[in-house]
Amino acid sequence: MFLLKKVLIGLALSMLVLSSSINASYAEQLDSKGLQSGVESSAAILNNALTPEEILKIADMHINGYLKDDWQTKGLTLTPSSNQIPLYDLENNVIAYMVPLLSNNEEIGYISIGALRDSYDAYDIFIDDQVVQLIRDRLSPPSIAFFDKSTSSKLVFVPPMTYMIQADQGQEERYLQLEDDFESVEDVTQAVNEQKLQLQQQYQELKTPQNEQRMQRVLDEGSNTNSLMAAAAVTKEDYALTVEASQQRFVPVDLGSGTYSYGGDQGWWKPVNPTKYDRGCGPVAAANLTTYLAKITNPSAYRNLYSGVATSKSDFMAHMDVMYSYINPGAFGETSVHDFASSIEKYAKDKNVQLSGVRDNSAFTLDNTAAYIKKGLSLNSPVATLNLSKFTDYEYEWHWMTITKYYRDVNDNRWIAVSTWGDRRSINYRTHFEAITRLKSLGGGFMYFK
């Protein structure tokens, strides 16, 4: 088990109460240097900005790296579109671009590329042929009609995967959070305003000399694989569950009309049990893990972990309910990797299955956690991950996900593929790690079973 516990200062009372419930096998104190205060001026941002040609160059690098090898895009001829959507911070500075990915001149998804030289070169990837147009539609006036007198709108980005519409209402700014499916929105204006200073500091945390050096190497070498390998001297790594390697979906639940999910979705609880919907990401991750172990990893040893039909939504939701009863998340959800593991171990014991979470007390570093993920995937065991960052009601913070793939290219770009809310998303692993370890996070961790 990898779990990090952090000491926080100045969070809301509810967050401080919550921190007392977190158990850790590994603890690390932050240094006392703190973060830079304030936000860089627009002029400084502009001077640090990448050119449009450089944005496309970075997108090409990931097209010829991660996306070339990934099962969702393998075999496709992809090009980055110049019809990009700018992504802003809370001070109206462009900090990234949502770059549509084209196949046969049709949009099949996007990659978010950093716009600053000292920040990350890429953040997340979503492959869905409707998603970019859905976002454009949300930015249009009809989608924000319930905001009175809105005069303009833009897409605000909080890395690694938070997207919000900022609507200008004269002297007032309102914020709509885009839900995971990008088809619905939620007004989070109050939450953003209350946490604006922390969010502004979060943007600063992304800017480091190390990121600038990596970015410059990418720009100097371009997307030529051979030259990148020579410059970076990093061996490509591609660890994935067997279903990923064979280009199949992870825990495919039949949603009807020929569509299948990529693992469970706590949103299925929303119409029938709002409490489970709010608190259920941990039980869904547990249902994903146990189902995969039973049906794919080792049916002879683990079949009792899930006896339902693999693709049946009703069977899988019944299993989600069972895992919810074992985990029994509190008002803030399941906030302990230790308790998560113990609950699954108890469930396995009750099913007469020998199963244990793999504990690891190594230092909580980028490379050590990556090594842990690779060990789990090499055993064909999905890896649960918890991120206890919290600023808005964004579902990828304060959230459990299931890792199904780890990828590192020759330029040391690292990606993980995850099951979350029934979708497959690809996240820059560095930004996911930073989200767990940054100052304003209560921590998080990783867990796989064998």
Task: Quickly state the pLDDT bin for 225 (edges 50, 70, 90).
Answer: very low
Model's pTM, two decimal places? 0.84
Quick one: 195 and 289 in the same domain?
no
**pLDDT for res 397:** 64
Instruction: Please state the length of the chain.
Output: 450
What are the backbone angles phi and psi of residue 127, rounded to the nearest 5°?
Answer: -100, 110
Residue 178 in any domain: the answer is yes
Contacts of 369 (CB under 8 A, 6+ apart): 2, 433, 446
Q: Residue 430 corresponds to which tokens in the numbers above? A: 């560095």
Task: Count the Cβ atoms, other than its own, within 10 Å of residue 209.
Answer: 8
pLDDT(354) > 50: yes
Quick one: 9 and 66 in the same domain?
no
Residue 410 in any domain: the answer is yes
Q: What is the mean pLDDT of residues 120-134?
A: 93
pLDDT(391) > 80: no
pLDDT(196) > 50: yes
Residue 380 in any domain: the answer is yes
pLDDT per residue over 251-286, tens digit each? Answer: 999 999 999 999 999 999 999 999 999 899 999 999
Quick one: 290 and 315 in the same domain?
yes
Number of domains in the chain: 2
pLDDT(364) > 80: yes
Quick one: 154 and 284 in the same domain?
no
252 and 241 in contact (C-beta within 8 Å)? no
Quick one: 344 and 253 in the same domain?
yes
Q: How many alpha carbons lie under 13 Å from residue 28 in its C-beta half-sphere?
A: 20
Residue 307 in any domain: the answer is yes
Quick one: 119 and 161 in the same domain?
yes
Quick one: 260 and 166 in the same domain?
no
396 and 162 in contact (C-beta within 8 Å)? yes
Residue 414 in any domain: the answer is yes
Task: Quickly state the pLDDT bin for 222 (edges 50, 70, 90).
Answer: low
Quick one: 308 and 387 in the same domain?
yes
Peptide bond into 299 cis (omega under 30): no
Domain boundary among the residues 232, 262, 292 is at 232
**pLDDT for res 215:** 78
Distance in angstroms between the alpha carbons of the first and the last residue of the chain: 12
388-424 exposure pattern, b = at least 16 Cβ within 10 A, e = fewer = bbbbbebbbbbbbbbbbbbbbbbbebbbbbbbbbbbb
Quick one: 381 and 409 in the same domain?
yes
Q: What is the mean pLDDT of residues 27-40?
A: 30
Compute the mean pLDDT over every residue in the chain, rounded to the nearest whole number: 83
Q: How many alpha carbons lie under 13 Å from residue 219 in its C-beta half-sphere?
A: 19
342 vs 138 pLDDT, higher one: 342
Domain boundary among the residues 188, 210, 232 is at 232
Residue 37 in any domain: the answer is no
pLDDT(394) > 50: no
Q: What is the mean pLDDT of residues 80-97?
A: 94
Residue 328 in any domain: the answer is yes
Quick one: 281 and 387 in the same domain?
yes
**pLDDT for res 60:** 94
Task: Quickly state the pLDDT bin for 243 (edges 50, 70, 90).
Answer: very high
pLDDT per residue over 406-423, tens digit each? Answer: 999 888 899 999 999 999
Residue 160 in any domain: the answer is yes
95-105 exposure pattern, b = at least 16 Cβ within 10 A, e = fewer = bbbbbbbbbee
Q: Residue 372 corresponds to which tokens in the numbers above? A: 């842990």
Q: Residue 434 corresponds to which tokens in the numbers above? A: 């930073």
Quick one: 380 and 245 in the same domain?
yes
Rg (CA), the chain: 21
Domain boundary among the residues 210, 232, 254 is at 232
pLDDT per residue over 135-188, tens digit each? Answer: 998 887 655 555 555 567 899 998 888 899 998 766 778 888 887 777 777 888
- Which residue type is seen at 447? M
* Angle formed by the axes of helices 209-221 and 225-232, nearest 10°: 140
pLDDT(7) > 70: no
Q: What is the mean pLDDT of residues 181-200?
A: 82
Quick one: 165 and 269 in the same domain?
no
Q: What is the mean pLDDT of residues 51-68?
A: 93
Domain hosting 68: range is 42-232
**Helix H or strand E segment including 140:** none
Question: Residue 79 and residue 106: Cα distance in Å, rounded?
Answer: 10
